[in-house]
Amino acid sequence: MVYEKDGKLYRRYDKELLCLEPFGPDGLRVRATQLNGFSDGGLSALLEEAKGEGNGEICIDGDTAVIRNGKLRCEMLCTGKLKFYNQKGELLLEEYDKNRFRRKSAPGEADNALEIGPRTFIPYHGTNYYQLAVRFEAREGERFYGMGQYSQPFLNLKGCVLELSQRNSQITIPFAVSSRGYGFFWNNPAIGTAAFGRNITEWKADSTRQMDYWITAGDSPAEIVEAYGEVTGKVPMMPEYATGFWQSKLRYRSQEEVLQVAREYRRRGLPLSVMVIDFFHWSAQGDFRFDETLWPDPEAMVKELEEMGIRLMVSVWPTVEETSENFLYMEEMGYLIRTEMGPRLGIKNKDTYMDASNPEAREFVWQKLKENYYDKGIRLFWLDECEPEVTRYEYANYRTYAGSHKEAGNIYPREFARMVYEGRKKEGEEEILSLVRCAWAGSQRYGALVWTGDVASEFDSLRNQVTAGMNIGLSGLPWWTTDIGGFHGGDIRTDKFKELFIRWFEFGTFCPVFRLHGFRKPLVIAQEGKVFAPGDAKSWNYTSGSPNEVWSFGEEVYEICRRYMELRERMRPYLMEQMKKAHEKGTPVMRPLFYDYPEDARAWEQEGEYLLGPDILAAPVTEENKRERKVYLPAGEWSDLHTGEMLEGGQTITVRAELGRIPVYIKQRELYEVLSKPLYACKGTH
């Protein structure tokens, strides 16, 4: 039976209930279940206020129906198969239905012996949970973009199979932008897979109660991404200081060490906006406070940094160890992740995690952060380990307030960011930002600035950053950064790493956030001139890396870094304009060329260059010993940042790219004049 109720289109056939409703200006939310009704719990990332109440048009003709919302129209055939069209009548997407055992034949739909339906619910016997697969017809030549952040060099995801789970250096945001003119959001935080094959497009959830997805039609990628922002949320306005240079390393081990670095930046006259204190500055994981032995006066530290114009950020992990002063209380109150089998401790090394999906747990931990950091003047939090990074990723063994990890695990990083956002919001703040290692759909509305995790210090990793930054911007998260130089394996003594570092620093200058971090070799066990007895200040003795400041790699590297830091300072007004667009419309700051040039077929083919806002085109060098590269310039006139040469767009050029010189082209001549004046050729490079 097909019927309309409360502005929604329903179809009941045997055990399946199907529902389509207007959602957003040009979108539809599509749900199906084999239970008695739909579950409207806290697992959806869609904003209730984005519902299209009264916006849709529904026409029912017996067992078939049509629902329209703005530019999107869906035909529901008598078999229950769905076909989506845009306002021009062009078919965008249709379900994959190869089943000969039909109750009725649909016009134009032939019977098929494969017996494969578009939606497959396989029950877990004795429960209300299912393994779900949803299938769509694949189209040759279709391209897919977005889907969060994966450690791979592919911008176009056609042909890729993606794991829908959170890992260190992997962020699952199951929203795909299609070159056919639609966006598709898998509104389900279950562990699963997405396959963009040549023969089929398939979405799977390992454990769920219902199918739930959202689809929109748009005349351009910008329309599609902005529509997604309307239904899942947009970032707050980025604070101005965050567009400057961030200094970080693994790890500063004392208050005095942090201040010494900041003072040296000031002595050299280098611009510095944010200093970051990494992990194990605490006494025990789960105490959520400084080790007082090495951090005796945080208020004084904050005050001196702020007098130098520097904001302080501290790392906060959700891990809790048994020796923490909060462990027993959090265990008693149900504030910790649980295991189905085996001990709770040992989920991460010898530790466990707070349950970020539990609102009471979030409030408890925020109060600790407020007392031990916020009230001492620290406003910025680095929310690390928030996948969560469990040791063996045995998803079936974890359970939270939100449900089993297989059903709800992907929302964890969003809820961890939500904790700090809501806490700071209660304090009257508006421009709220947290650095996070992982995210899910909707994390952006909680001020999530994501980065690519603990990636290797290798050229292959650098190449992956370029596509990762573009795809995550298309996934609704415009705030993005990397560990300049990579995290693991960089030896500050070697020429090989120095070349990589320079190339990464060039690239980092033209990222939404400009942040230096890494675990450098050789490792340092104790600070020179300091001796501590065994057991004293255990955080002091935790391994640190070599220095990671811009002067740590020799004069040639330093001179290059200094110039790019000065260039970044001149870019900041332009970047703030882009941050305003991200806040108001969800526009990605870093994006592929086709975002601004959708009618240019060659723009869709470029995977190694990108736009930073509409007027800066960057083409980073991501290969070792490379001193030139090809660059495609889309339509318009472009100025070479380094030479001032004016070039006509619509052509591919081969350009010089000496070490210390990233190919960058400026479309707006006035912006070129601002950025280029003090920039001069690199000395002593080749």
Q: Catalytic residue numbers?
A: 384, 387, 454
* Length reported for the chain: 686
Q: What type of residue is 299?
A: E
SS3 label, residue 412: helix
What's the CA angle centered on 343, arms 342 and 346, to 5 degrees?
Answer: 110
Phi, psi of 399 (to 5 degrees): -140, 140
Is the peptide bond prior to 463 cis by the omega test (within 30 degrees of 0)?
Answer: no
SS3 label, residue 549: coil
Can you state the angle between helices 459-473 and 495-509, rounded to 10 degrees? 10
Which residues neighbour 110 within 8 Å (Cβ) at sequence distance 6 or greater? none
List the one residue out of 578, 634, 505 whose CA is nearest residue 242.
578
Phi, psi of 12 (to 5 degrees): -110, 120
Kindly provide the b/e burial profile for residues 152-172, where b requires at least 16 CB atoms within 10 angstroms of the residue's own CB.
ebbbbbbeeebebbbbbbbbb
Q: Are 160 and 154 in contact (CB under 8 A)?
A: yes
List the one residue out of 208, 629, 224 whose CA is nearest residue 410.
208
Is the peptide bond prior to 522 cis by the omega test (within 30 degrees of 0)?
Answer: yes
CA distances from 155 to 285, 392, 620, 632 (A): 38, 28, 15, 16
- Strand stretches in 103-199, DSSP E: 119-123, 130-137, 144-149, 161-164, 171-178, 182-186, 192-196
Question: Rounded distance, CA 511 to CA 481, Å?
Answer: 6
In Å, the largest CA–CA distance within the chain is 85
- Tell me the chain's radius of gyration from C-alpha atoms: 26
Element (H, E) at 16: strand 16-22
Q: Are 477 and 468 in contact (CB under 8 A)?
A: no
Question: Rounded distance, CA 31 to CA 370, Å?
Answer: 40
Q: What type of residue is 10?
A: Y
Kindly provide the b/e burial profile for residues 178-201, where b requires at least 16 CB atoms within 10 angstroms of the residue's own CB.
bbbbbbbbbbbbbbbebbbeeeeb
List the one residue out of 211, 217, 231 whose CA is nearest residue 135.
211
3-state helix, strand, coil in the chain (%, to 5): 25, 30, 45
How far separated are the first and last CA of the chain, in Å rounded? 73
Structure tokens at 406: 């297989």
Question: Rounded distance, CA 99 to CA 113, Å?
Answer: 6
List the one residue out of 182, 175, 23 whose CA is nearest residue 92.
182
List the one residue out of 139, 170, 143 whose CA is nearest residue 155.
143
Question: Rounded distance, CA 269 to CA 492, Å?
Answer: 23
List the one residue out of 87, 46, 445 whose CA is nearest residue 212.
46
Instruction: Count CA within 13 A, CB hemisphere, residue 477.
Output: 38
Q: Are 500 and 457 in contact (CB under 8 A)?
A: yes
